Structure 1
Amino acid sequence: MSNAPDPRRRPPAVKTLDHTVAAVPLLQGRVLLHEHTQPIPGPRPALDDDLGGVVMTGANADTRAFQLRADVGYQGTLLIDSAVYTTYTATAEEPFMAPPDELFGTVEHSLNFQKARGASAALTPTGYIPPASSRALKAVLREANRIERADTLVSLPIHVTWLNRENIGQLTEVCARIRHPKAVILFRQFDPLEQAKDVPSNLRRLFTEVENMSLLRTDLAALDVMAHGALCAGIGVRSSLRHAIPPDDKAQTGKGGGGPTYPHILMPQLMRFKGAEFLSKVYGNADPATCDCEECDGRSLDSFFLSDGETQREAENHNIYIWSEWVSNMASYPAGTERKTWWRDKCAAAVDRCALENQRIGVGASPKSGFQVPAPLKAWATLPVTP
């Protein structure tokens, strides 16, 4: 009887880009767009080629990424995040989820496959790391440091309570010991940075004390970490891609029941995302805020109160134009105190404008009648600027 391996049981050969090409210089200083995988991907003219890029996110991310490269001709920076953390929880024995449809699938094969489908760098298929699951976090450290390639980012899909006062020290220590660049993804229903008062400052601490940290699948927190030394960051194109929820949770929404889904609009002056339905109501008896970005050209922000696909994409492009301009402005300031001060002052101005906007349209600052300052924005506007 032959002991030769059965060729049918070998992982299929894939053509991969050179894994010795380092991820860090390819990603340095970029804020990427987390795209969804439901529609066929199309070009996003709002993205800055020098400072931006795409993270194709979710089921079929590899297929959509390949289409973006091959069919659309996209040549920019690209990551593939199949988001295994939405269904798989990391354990002390298996922190990474190898490809489930491959016999003898390995993490190495997963990384190679991403590169073969067009990824500029590869993300580890890390499972969700629950609150206080120290053994799973340490297992990520152990397995990540076994990876012998330069093109890899170690994905850290953590519950936001890892940023609480009790856990931030251990998280920082583990991140510092992982020798590859890291990509944090925060989990919680609604805005993770509103989980506790010290979360925004502890997130800054993590990114200040550990080199080559990234924050993916987030909102304007991407710009805060970029101002404070992040390698790169990623902003979700829709609210569902601006945070993640644990595998066993069901996504909660701000309104009960079903009904149409309306876009969330990034307000340039107030530096916050608000639902189009809310904007339609709050500006019902007042002149609405307008936008002069290339997508809007003076359009009123309450006019996005439509649920069709064209309006959704217009709203997405508006959002990208706005935050891409901020990324470009930030990049014009030297890294360090000048950049941090610019960001602090910009956030402080937005906090002040919130009260002025409520006064202009004659409403109070209650959640139902007017605009409130988001807790993270208030923190970014008031935390001290450190060297």
Structure 2
Amino acid sequence: MSNPAPFGQRPPALRVLDASVPATPILAGRVLLHEHSRFIPRQRNSIDSDLGGVVMTGDNAETRAFKLRTEAGFTGTMLIDSAPYTTHTATENEPFLLPQDQMFATLDDTLGFQKAAGASAALTPTGYIAPGASKPLKAVIRAAQRIERVDTVVTVPVDVTWLSNERVGQLIAACERINQPKALVLVGQFDPLQHAKVIPANLRRVISEVEGMMLLRTDLAALDAMVHGALCAGIGVTSSVRHSVAPGERAKVSKPNGPVYPSILMPELMCFKGAESLANRYANAEPATCPCEVCNGRGLDRFYKTDSETRVDAEDHNILIWSTWVGEMAGYEVGPKRKIWWQEKCAAAINRYPLENQRIGLSAKRGFQPPPPLSAWATLPAS
């Protein structure tokens, strides 16, 4: 974890965000943006102040969050996720990763440091819960039950195999024993929702059956979760903060060597595609265009660059698109009408795939293919 400045060096205005401010009403109904802490923090005009916010994620998250508050002037809802689950595996004796350079570090201090750095609520520094690791999961429950603060969200970073048919019931029972809001983080290579066919449906079970569930560090699964009753959710600004891998693993990529291009959210197809992939598919055809404020009707193939300005433009485009969908979703009360809206939206996107492939003269194999989670959201029962 990052080492925040001592309390004596913090502005008094941030220290008043103490443990007496409940987390639930602050976070309810929001879809937050996971910003990567390796970049200089900046205001995002594309973030909706009523329906959005920021999760500062990764190493030095507290320092970057503090700068976002004090230097960039961000006044919105914010969480700080130093992502201890990427380096620490939860054990029965140490379910949380506390600062290693402090002799008498406590969980309460760690949560307080987040609030002092500008967090609206505090996330527990829970370690990665490995496949079938029942004892560490029970240790997280016991530790959560000892927390007396009302400003705290208990992070539950589980291997995606906990959403198998064999394990999902145990995960639900465990989360039901935690009184605070719970932030589920799914850990696995590539998109965890594609590891098994049953995962999208079982994730819905967890979200809908457990009160106060959140889904963080994900992609459009955040919207599916919100439709099915999640308290709050989070979408990563890049693929590295949309997904997470277990401690000791390196994230696998389709091309391990070479330049890194942005991932682009395609509005009509409702999927993220790499800029290189888009440039290749549209090499001999007019590209798909986007009417958002960043694109202003230009083609989506123009993001095939590696400079920082292009990266930021791509990120802002993505945020504007999914934020528009969050706004649409907010027009429906949680319940049947919201679920039907989402199912129909996903089904309409699925129907666009063959039309787009036909337009650009590519076969289904060489052209665009719907991601399995999108297909699941379009076909699973809406009720």
Q: TM-score, normalised by structure 1?
A: 0.95
3-state DSSP class of the match of 2:154?
strand
Match of 1:5 in 2: none
Identity across the alignment (%): 61
C-alpha distance in structure 1 between counterparts of 2:62 and 2:18, whole Å: 18
Match of 1:96 in 2: 96
Post-superposition offset of 1:16 = 5.4
3-state DSSP class of the match of 1:32?
strand
Post-superposition offset of 1:99 = 1.4
Q: Where does 1:40-189 land on structure 2 (aligned, <5 Å)?
A: 40-189=40-189
Post-superposition offset of 1:285 = 0.5
Post-superposition offset of 1:135 = 0.5
3-state DSSP class of the match of 2:225?
helix
Match of 1:375 in 2: 372
Bigger mean CA deviation after superposition, 54-63 or 97-106: 97-106
C-alpha distance in structure 1 between counterparts of 2:313 and 2:352, whole Å: 25
C-alpha distance in structure 2 between counterparts of 1:103 and 1:291, whole Å: 54
Cα deviation 1:342-368 (Å, max 9, x = unaligned): 0000000000001111111111112xx
C-alpha distance in structure 1 between counterparts of 2:298 and 2:43, whole Å: 22
Gapped regions of structure 1 (runs ≥ 5): 1-10
Give the conservation status (yes or no) of the 8 Å contact 1:16–1:113: no
Q: Which amino acid aligns with 1:36?
A: H
Post-superposition offset of 1:259 = 1.2
Give the conservation status (yes or no) of the 8 Å contact 1:16–1:112: no
Cα deviation 1:1-22 (Å, max 9, x = unaligned): xxxxxxxxxx965645220111
Match of 1:203 in 2: 203
Report whether the alignment pairs 1:277 with 2:265.
no
3-state DSSP class of the match of 1:290?
coil
Report whether the alignment pairs 1:266 with 2:265.
yes
C-alpha distance in structure 2 between counterparts of 1:161 and 1:70, whole Å: 40
3-state DSSP class of the match of 2:273?
strand
Match of 1:318 in 2: 317
Q: Where does 1:282-321 land on structure 2 (aligned, <5 Å)?
A: 282-321=281-320
Match of 1:354 in 2: 353
C-alpha distance in structure 2 between counterparts of 1:116 and 1:149, whole Å: 15
Match of 2:34 in 1: 34
3-state DSSP class of the match of 2:235?
strand
Post-superposition offset of 1:101 = 2.2
Q: Which amino acid aligns with 1:379?
A: A
Cα deviation 1:124-162 (Å, max 9, x = unaligned): 000000010001111100101100010000001111000
Give the conservation status (yes or no) of the 8 Å contact 2:18–2:112: no
Bigger mean CA deviation after superposition, 100-109 or 348-357: 100-109
C-alpha distance in structure 2 between counterparts of 1:225 and 1:247, whole Å: 26
Cα deviation 1:219-276 (Å, max 9, x = unaligned): 0000000000000000000001001000111111012x42111000000000000000
Gapped regions of structure 2 (runs ≥ 5): 9-14
Q: TM-score, normalised by structure 2?
A: 0.96
Q: Which amino acid aligns with 2:112?
A: N
Post-superposition offset of 1:182 = 0.2
C-alpha distance in structure 2 between counterparts of 1:53 and 1:12, whole Å: 26
Give the conservation status (yes or no) of the 8 Å contact 1:215–1:234: yes
3-state DSSP class of the match of 2:315?
helix
Give the conservation status (yes or no) of the 8 Å contact 1:115–1:122: yes
C-alpha distance in structure 2 between counterparts of 1:18 and 1:56, whole Å: 19
Post-superposition offset of 1:299 = 1.4
C-alpha distance in structure 2 between counterparts of 1:234 and 1:101, whole Å: 30
